[in-house]
Amino acid sequence: MITIFLQAAPAGDSMLPTMLMMGAMFVGFYFLMIRPQMKKAKQEKNFQESLKVGARVVTTSGMHGRIAQIQDDGVVIETLSGKLKFEKAAISREFTQQRFPDSADDKK
């Protein structure tokens, strides 16, 4: 019975159905895996470029603070324990005005 499945296809059959299936699989992988990853990377890059001095942020490690300086290779975050330098990629999110309404008064 196993030998039936292992036998080669007859010489007269076309490779067209196989090629169509491979193409459909590639298109499926693109829309299910590659495209969402590219979209997320683009959103992350836009977020990192939109950071401003004075914004309250949280790093990926959970450190809360306010951006004191923005440099080419990273940002300096002011926390209660002092100033720390982080990579821009280490910032996971920014707090909004609704969470910290006093931040509008602190910006000069």
- Domains of the chain, each with CATH number or no CATH: 49-97 (2.30.30.100)
- Digit-coded pLDDT (tens) for 43-92: 988 888 888 898 899 898 888 999 999 998 899 999 998 999 999 888 88
Taking the C-alpha atoms of residue 73 and residue 84, their distance in angstroms, rounded to an integer, is 13
- Digit-coded pLDDT (tens) for 11-46: 556 888 889 999 999 999 999 999 999 999 999 888
